[in-house]
Chains A and B, each alone.
Chain A
């Protein structure tokens, strides 16, 4: 008897010591680096993200140049005769009357949710004002973190905290790459539908005028914020509820970017909040360490996949910048191709990356997968989000299971990536949910209702 008691005690002692050793060792291995201001554990999925020293993309400096806002497909729908011919009768006519892209089972509830979601999305709310007329609010001296015993590293953390307080799902800071600013702003008039005004970046003039914009060279930081789109809304794509999820993202973009800009101005610095305009959001987000570029042409984030909308605030506040990240998206996209298979308009390529796209709305000169913006828009009119719905990186939560799978993907082993895609599809992820399935929920799974993890 006493021998048995001794053996059991020794066994338990060995197990306890082993478990303690494993925890200590695991904590050492998996702890986050504290010398970087990149996305937190909460955003990144812990050890699965690799922080890079430099850019996470290749570009040809002889080809890549600033893009004119006139050539993005939204602008082209107004001035380009070819696009005007297609859009002549409007997307509503095309989709609802002619039946191209007809979406069955759409109810008035779905349209109402979408209408409400888009309410604050546009610039007429004043959210995207530059505030160039009131740089200093209550103090003539710009705030210095040393005033309250902080460093600029602390100040960067504070700004990110404010961004999340105002509703951002993810936030990163990058040095502003001038290549990502639009070279000019599309400003049509009845008499000149192709009219653009230049965006000048020389000296310290700061003005948004009627015939030209001036952005000072000292405004060399960009705070990039991303907003999660509701998983179950996107899962209804190409239905109207996906439009609602998109519109909700746009409205939150306006509110949060405008609030961050006001926060920065109160501290005595300049701020330009922007949604889709002023510059290209996706490369800025990549520079800010929010994610990588996927096959579908979207930003793919560790936590939310491509299910995000992006806004930014350009500022002269000398914040400490984040580093780009890598977590296996490029290698995974090379074998997955689910977005290409499920794109209803065939706008996403299933081929390799190239240096040029086929459309004048593509920004050539970067090695990436180029989409066809025209055909995407023609179907996107109701905010089709099929590519987001089916993407294996898009998951309803950030549970340990999905973080573990991302760890496998981060290993960049092609065979395992293929197995993960197969399991993802076999498990039923990416399927379209009906609007009745969406409305039968009480909202507890919505992005602002559910538990943090």
Chain B
């Protein structure tokens, strides 16, 4: 069930970004879209890793791997936001 929710949230997030870019009439290149989709896929991967560790009772692993990999996901998302979707005109 939790996996379905994660997938649904990721898909919803993607559509929200698409909608947001249309409303703002942003010019997003195919490469930037590719990076966005990859960022969402990576974020899903990080969440699934955390869930997998928690499921087998390895909370320390969930914390450590979550922090290390999650940091990359956060940085990636911030860079996309800063230079693609939220850049000042």
Binding site for B on A (CB under 8 A): 4, 8, 11, 396-397, 399-401, 423, 426-429, 445
Residues of B within 8 A of A401 (CB): 48-49, 52-53
Residues of B within 8 A of A428 (CB): 58-61
Q: Determine how close the nearest CB of chain B comes to the CB of A7; give it in whole angstroms.
A: 8
The answer to whether A11 and B60 have CB atoms under 8 Å apart is: no
Q: Which residue from B18, B48, B53 sits with its C-beta under 8 Å from A427? A: B53
- Name B59's closest neighbour in chain A (CB-CB): A428
- Whether, in the assembled complex, B22 has its beta carbon less than 8 Å from a beta carbon of chain A, the answer is yes
The answer to whether A399 and B52 have CB atoms under 8 Å apart is: yes
Complex formed: what's the CA distance from A159 to B58 in Å? 37
- Name B49's closest neighbour in chain A (CB-CB): A401
The answer to whether A427 and B52 have CB atoms under 8 Å apart is: no
The answer to whether A429 and B58 have CB atoms under 8 Å apart is: yes
Complex formed: what's the CA distance from A8 to B15 in Å? 10
- Name A428's closest neighbour in chain B (CB-CB): B60
Complex formed: what's the CA distance from A401 to B56 in Å? 11
Q: Which residue from A8, A11, A396, A423 sits with its C-beta under 8 Å from B56? A: A396
The answer to whether A399 and B56 have CB atoms under 8 Å apart is: yes
- Name A400's closest neighbour in chain B (CB-CB): B52
Residues of B within 8 A of A426 (CB): 61, 64
- Whether, in the assembled complex, B65 has its beta carbon less than 8 Å from a beta carbon of chain A, the answer is yes
Residues of A within 8 A of B49 (CB): 401
Complex formed: what's the CA distance from A327 to B49 in Å? 23
Q: Which residue from A4, A8, A400, A429 sits with its C-beta under 8 Å from B61? A: A429
With A396-B58, A427-B53, A427-B65 known, 8 other A-B pairs at CB within 8 A are: A8-B18, A396-B56, A396-B57, A401-B49, A401-B53, A423-B65, A426-B64, A428-B58
Q: Determine how close the nearest CB of chain B comes to the CB of A435; give it in whole angstroms.
A: 16
- Name B19's closest neighbour in chain A (CB-CB): A8
Residues of B within 8 A of A400 (CB): 48, 52
> What range describes how many residues of B lie at the interface?
10 to 19
Q: 5 A-B contacts, Cβ less than 8 Å apart? A: A8-B18, A399-B56, A400-B52, A401-B52, A427-B64
Q: Determine how close the nearest CB of chain B comes to the CB of A61; give it in whole angstroms.
A: 45
Complex formed: what's the CA distance from A59 to B42 in Å? 46
Q: Mark B4-23, 1 if CB is under 8 A from A, else 0.
A: 00000000000000100010
Residues of A within 8 A of B52 (CB): 399-401
The answer to whether A427 and B56 have CB atoms under 8 Å apart is: no
- Whether, in the assembled complex, B24 has its beta carbon less than 8 Å from a beta carbon of chain A, the answer is no
Residues of B within 8 A of A423 (CB): 65
Complex formed: what's the CA distance from A445 to B56 in Å? 9
- Name A396's closest neighbour in chain B (CB-CB): B56
- Name A399's closest neighbour in chain B (CB-CB): B52
Q: Determine how close the nearest CB of chain A comes to the CB of B23; give it in whole angstroms.
A: 10
- Whether, in the assembled complex, B55 has its beta carbon less than 8 Å from a beta carbon of chain A, the answer is yes
- Name B62's closest neighbour in chain A (CB-CB): A427
Q: Mark B50-84, 1 if CB is under 8 A from A, else 0.
A: 00110111111100110000000000000000000
Complex formed: what's the CA distance from A399 to B65 in Å? 16
- Name B52's closest neighbour in chain A (CB-CB): A401
Complex formed: what's the CA distance from A88 to B28 in Å? 80
Residues of A within 8 A of B60 (CB): 427-428
The answer to whether B55 and A399 have CB atoms under 8 Å apart is: yes
Considering only residues 17-35 of chain B, those with a C-beta below 8 Å from chain A are 18, 22
Residues of A within 8 A of B57 (CB): 396, 445
The answer to whether B56 and A4 have CB atoms under 8 Å apart is: no
The answer to whether B22 and A427 have CB atoms under 8 Å apart is: no
Residue of A399, A427, A445 contacting most chain B CB atoms (<10 Å): A427
Q: Determine how close the nearest CB of chain B comes to the CB of A445; give it in whole angstroms.
A: 8
Q: Determine how close the nearest CB of chain A comes to the CB of B63; give it in whole angstroms.
A: 9
Residues of B within 8 A of A429 (CB): 58, 61
- Name A427's closest neighbour in chain B (CB-CB): B61
Complex formed: what's the CA distance from A423 to B61 in Å? 8
